[in-house]
A and B are shown apart, each in its own frame.
Chain A
Amino acid sequence: MTDKQRQNLINRVAVAFGWIAAILFFFPIFWMVLTSFKTENQAIAIPPLLFFEPTLENYTEIQERTNYSKFALNSIITAFGGTGLALLIAIPSAYSMAFNTGRWTKDILMWMLSTKMLPAVGVLMPIYLISQKLGMLDSKLALVIIYAMMNLPIVMLILFNYFREIPKEILEASRMDGTSTFNEIRQVVMPLAWGGIASTALLSIILCWNEAFWSIVLTTTEASTLTAFVASFQAPEGLFWAKVSAVSTLACAPIVIFGWLAQKQLVQGLTFGAVK
């Protein structure tokens, strides 16, 4: 076997593994979408049905029983609002830490990250009571603030790493031209780290979108998001798999479409600095 043939074989095996991994990742989503077009009895049939007469009854019932657009709009507002607020705090903080690194910078970052290890239920009562006292139960603003605080450590850590990749000489040059700190961040740092900021924002949006604990605990009718919408279709006494699949498909659809549209920025950001 020549080197070229060996290389070809390796490439083919790598491609095959890539496909297998992609199929494994995609299969649950495929099955969820497929199940959403089954009746409840078809959904639990053993052996599982791959071919069947599709029905739209689950989607029709969801449409009749709930206001999907309200849940979706709440998800969009809270996910984008939470991410925006997190970025507003994280960008200047990460700038400060990346370009004025002190003795305790890494320790502070690690401490911030360690707050992610605390289970959410551990702070349920204080947050619930604070929200209640401030009259913010069932409010989108409460979710926006909580989502921002929840994602802030990760957003800051990622931005810190992106900002550190920017050569300090560029900033020094801008300072020699008399740029203020605010303009330095806005006109120099942000454009240079745009790919990183975009991918961090996308990651944060996805995390906010999928957040279930706080949205279920703190909301009732006005601020409920799509995760609460999905949770409402589980039934302790009765079959619900087909309906939950349809609800999950509806809940996933916006973020999947958004991710697909923004995949260029996502890939660009994730590979930022990977190849020098």
Chain B
Amino acid sequence: MKALCTTAMGVALGLSGALAASAGELTIATVNNGHMIEMQKLTPAFEEANPGITVNWVTLDEGTLRSRVTTDITTKGGQFDIMTIGMYEAPIWGERGWLEALEFGADYDVDDILPAMRGGLSHDGNLYAAPFYGESSMIMYRKDLMDAAGMEMPDNPSWGYIADAAAAMTDKDAGQYGICLRGKPGWGDNMAFLSTMANSFGAQWFNEDWTPALDSPAWNHAVNFYVDLLNNYGPPGSSANSFNEILALMNEGKCGMWIDATIAASFLTNENMAYAQAPQAITTRGANWLWAWSLAIPAGTNQAEDAQKFIEWATSKEYIELVAETNGWGAVPTGTRQSTYDNANFQAAAGFADAELAAIMSADPSNSTQNPSPYVGVQFAAIPEFQAIGTAVGQQMTAALAGDISVEEALENAQTAADREMKKAGYY
């Protein structure tokens, strides 16, 4: 019996061994996006330059990553030394003291980071996450189809012009659709796009007293326009489409136009692609979103110093040059540094560079609505309650797009859901 107990304890200790990361071992939580995968491949260069530091990667899908890092950070689980987070989390978590403020030396050239990115990842003047790659939204369209329709895309088209172009490019019998837009429910899916569209129609998420504004005529106008546009000129089953599904449709040659993340431009394979700024209705304010996948250090990690070194390396100009040397300038992470856009090699390799930079520079999270609003953020409101509200509203919009309920009914339900959430949170 004694032997059995000893064996059991031995097995237990063996199984639970290596619980905590040892000194010099960094655990980084990230998503499975192309640029992140490249960073993992290039990590040996960092390890070589920093003997004694080894890097372990935990790759998760976006939704799981959010819940994992949120659980870990709120319980001070200490499972991660660096977290990949977005522009939504950085200011909120920074304000709550969950993240270490980042401070860089002169070599890092923090002023080279695009102001919109720096602003979106800061709180009270402290930078809480360093942008690894950033994006805005823009129109990606087939120039050959526009030419065939006898139209020319302006740099800043209106939604009315987009509807006309979509009508001209649609040939349903040939499986050709004028426009493809996100329809899958989720605050980061259909609502990311719809928020920017609504902004341009003069709508906003919340009034100045934090009451939801989803019952406004501007939202009604925007959502009706969106539903009509997709029903008339979009592909069948749009309510199930998000980034990846539309990317596939674009590369299959099924869509004439797509308004989505600027990063999509680097995945598009059609040689006739051209780019323009996101459409506007009554204002350009908030018409294109702003997002950055960024690296942050959770407060309380024992490896803060090494984590800072890694972030400094991964978000530096030198890292961008390393990627360019390895895979070419067309494959570098974009949307973060002015120096990237100033580089002639990059300009030559990336046909979307000018449109992307213009989109990022024009996005202002602190001034994204036609009328004054109390929140920061373009395609989201940077408050903790937004995730739940955005998802609930997204489900209503998808139902309206699928024709299950009317737009008016969807907005009424969305307003009720948002109102309930805000009241519960004590905003009024």
Contact = CB atoms under 8 A, between A and B. Distances in A.
Contacts of B77: 128, 132, 137
B261 A237 contact: yes
A65 to B, nearest CB: 7
Contacts of B12: 141
A236 B62 CA distance: 6
A217 interface: yes
A220 B56 contact: yes
A235 interface: yes
A269 interface: no
Interface string A218-252: 00111010001001111111111000000000000
B145 interface: no
Most chain-A CB neighbours within 10 Å: which of B32, B33, B244? B32
A129 interface: yes
Interface string B1-29: 00000000000100111111100000101
B79 A235 contact: no
A236 B61 contact: yes
A221 B27 contact: yes
Most chain-B CB neighbours within 10 Å: which of A41, A231, A236? A236
Contacts of B62: 234, 236
Contact of A139 (B16, B61, B78, B188): B16
B309 interface: no
Interface in B237-263: 243-244, 247-248, 251-252, 254, 261, 263
Majority SS at the chain A contact face: loop
Nearest to B40: A65
B119 to A, nearest CB: 23
Contacts of A139: 15-17, 19
Contacts of B71: 124-125, 128, 217
A208 interface: no
Contacts of B263: 237
A55 B244 CA distance: 22
A239 B267 contact: yes
B343 interface: no
A118 B426 CA distance: 30
A217 B15 contact: no
Contact of A141 (B15, B31, B32, B264): B15
Contacts of B57: 221
Given A235-B244, A236-B31, A65 B37 contact: yes
B75 interface: yes
Given A231-B64, A239-B267, A44 B20 contact: no
B59 A222 contact: no
A38 interface: no
B141 interface: no
Contact of B56 (A137, A221, A239): A221
A236 B16 contact: no
Contacts, number: 113
A189 interface: no
Interface string A7-41: 00000000000000000000000000000000001
Contacts of A129: 75
Nearest to B21: A221
Contacts of B150: none
Given A124-B71, A233-B32, A239-B248, A220 B58 contact: yes
B68 interface: yes
A190 B247 CA distance: 57
A98 to B, nearest CB: 26
A149 to B, nearest CB: 16
A87 B237 CA distance: 48
Nearest to B36: A235
Contacts of A128: 71, 75, 77
Contacts of B243: 236-237
B352 interface: no
A77 interface: yes
A235 to B, nearest CB: 4
B61 A220 contact: no
A234 B30 CA distance: 12
Contacts of A233: 32, 59
A245 to B, nearest CB: 14
Given A128-B71, A220-B80, A237 B264 contact: yes
A234 B19 CA distance: 27
A136 interface: yes
B149 interface: no
B58 A238 contact: no
B61 A137 contact: no
A46 interface: yes
B34 interface: yes
B16 A238 contact: no
A138 B79 contact: yes
Interface of B: 12, 15-21, 27, 29, 31-34, 37, 40-41, 56-62, 64, 67-68, 71, 75, 77-80, 188, 243-244, 247-248, 251-252, 254, 261, 263-264, 267, 269
Interface of A: 41, 44-46, 65, 77, 81, 124-125, 128-129, 132, 135-142, 144, 216-217, 220-222, 224, 228, 231-240
Q: 10 tightest A-B contacts by CB? A: A234-B61, A232-B59, A44-B248, A141-B15, A141-B16, A236-B62, A139-B16, A221-B56, A235-B32, A140-B15
Given A65-B41, A237-B261, 8 more contacts: A124-B71, A132-B78, A216-B68, A220-B58, A221-B57, A234-B61, A237-B264, A238-B33
7 contacts: A44-B248, A136-B16, A139-B16, A217-B68, A232-B58, A236-B62, A237-B33
